[in-house]
A = this chain, B = another copy of it.
């Protein structure tokens, strides 16, 4: 088997692990920068590697629309297309169908919708999504799910979760036997613990290489998210990686590691970077603020990244205020390096049985 997951240590519910793929190992808890359209916005592949990122995420929905799958498949897959050797996780498109597309019509067979780019009619199904992800040749493939908006309507969420379950079964069938790639199931059920647990049990019967928690980061409170993770943490199998989709802030991540999550992805560090916002070990700061005009200190000396240590806040304030591309580049680079520094410190503290202290010391600052 060229893929595997090893749980190396537990500290409370926090877990230290290693995912092995044919393209390299991923130390968990891991953060995956988001490369929606086959590029992490603003960064070269060298800069991504420099942040110590070990895996990136790309979006099936976006790539299906532009540039289309054949242009990527022809070159051998996403790695060749974007010239990256890092392992890649592709999502299935379910979340983007909910959040981006128009005139969405959901049937048992799949989803009809209009492209958010040009309005073109598109159909996605479990079979199509998995076939696309195979052509993209990603290392971790996600089942195609229906991802409902945040809702307190339990009937609606239950119906949706059951549909996602049938789609998970079809995704697994389409995926077939593949020793080179992981296929992850996605637990749905909204903020209803009984639906979550029921959904998970059914997914376990189908059996996947990893389990994602989906349908969060859709508008619920952090408390609701943590409660959902609390209800799942003892039900998820220990020997499989656990991935919380689309999350989150540094505080969300720290709180979710405490609840047993191994993998994260989020556009926040890159999107925030493009608006002048930096995450630092002294808290979140907005470089647009005029007070940084007189601050000649580095962005964050604690983070081992050129963008963090080699440029003053004075200079960054100037770049942000003059809308220079370099502002987006340096702040995205730093923010992802900061996220990876956080993950590295989380892993270290789990390894020395000190996670709870680390959590207590940092949660409030990171959650602000």
Check A81–B325 contact: CB distance below 8 A.
Answer: no
Check A318–B37 contact: CB distance below 8 A.
Answer: yes
Task: Judge if A181 is at the interface, Cβ distance under 8 Å.
Answer: no
Task: Judge if A169 is at the interface, Cβ distance under 8 Å.
Answer: no
Check A319–B66 contact: CB distance below 8 A.
Answer: no
Taken residue by residue from 319 to 352, chain A's Cβ proximity to chain B (1 for < 8 Å, 0 otherwise) reads as 1011011101110000000000000000000000
Check A37–B81 contact: CB distance below 8 A.
Answer: no
Besides the known contacts A67-B314, A329-B329, 11 further A-B residue pairs in the complex with CB atoms under 8 A apart: A37-B318, A38-B318, A39-B319, A39-B325, A41-B326, A66-B318, A67-B293, A67-B321, A71-B294, A81-B312, A325-B325
Contact of A37 among B312, B324, B328 (CB under 8 A): B324
Check B67–A329 contact: CB distance below 8 A.
Answer: no
Task: Judge if A137 is at the interface, Cβ distance under 8 Å.
Answer: no
Task: Judge if A301 is at the interface, Cβ distance under 8 Å.
Answer: no
Taken residue by residue from 34 to 50, chain A's Cβ proximity to chain B (1 for < 8 Å, 0 otherwise) reads as 00011101111010000
A residues lining the B interface (CB < 8 Å): 37-39, 41-44, 46, 66-67, 71, 74-75, 81-83, 293-294, 296, 306, 310-312, 314-315, 317-319, 321-322, 324-326, 328-330
- B-chain residues with CB within 8 Å of residue A319 when the two chains form the complex: 37, 39
Could you tell me the distance in whole angstroms from the C-beta of A1 to the nearest C-beta in chain B? Answer: 31
Check B326–A83 contact: CB distance below 8 A.
Answer: no
The chain B residue sitting closest to A81, CB to CB, is B315
Contact of A74 among B39, B44, B296, B321 (CB under 8 A): B296
- B-chain residues with CB within 8 Å of residue A37 when the two chains form the complex: 318-319, 322, 324
- B-chain residues with CB within 8 Å of residue A314 when the two chains form the complex: 67, 71, 74-75, 81
Could you tell me the distance in whole angstroms from the C-beta of A250 to the nearest C-beta in chain B? Answer: 24
User: Which 4 residue pairs of A and B lie closest in terms of their CB atoms, listed nearest first?
Assistant: A67-B318, A39-B326, A42-B325, A37-B322
CA distance A113 to B329 in the complex (A): 33
Could you tell me the distance in whole angstroms from the C-beta of A200 to the nearest C-beta in chain B? Answer: 36
CA distance A39 to B325 in the complex (A): 9
- B-chain residues with CB within 8 Å of residue A325 when the two chains form the complex: 39, 41-42, 325, 328-329
Pairs A–B under 8 Å by Cβ, sample size 24: A37-B318, A37-B319, A37-B324, A38-B315, A39-B319, A39-B324, A39-B326, A41-B326, A42-B325, A42-B329, A43-B326, A44-B329, A46-B306, A67-B293, A67-B322, A71-B293, A71-B314, A71-B318, A75-B296, A75-B312, A83-B310, A83-B311, A325-B328, A325-B329
- Once A322-B37, A325-B325 are accepted as A-B contacts, the answer to whether A315 and B44 lie under 8 Å apart by CB is no
Could you tell me the distance in whole angstroms from the C-beta of A37 to the nearest C-beta in chain B? Answer: 5
CA distance A211 to B325 in the complex (A): 33
Could you tell me the distance in whole angstroms from the C-beta of A21 to the nearest C-beta in chain B? Answer: 22
Could you tell me the distance in whole angstroms from the C-beta of A336 to the nearest C-beta in chain B? Answer: 14
Could you tell me the distance in whole angstroms from the C-beta of A38 to the nearest C-beta in chain B? Answer: 7
CA distance A76 to B276 in the complex (A): 25
Could you tell me the distance in whole angstroms from the C-beta of A367 to the nearest C-beta in chain B? Answer: 29
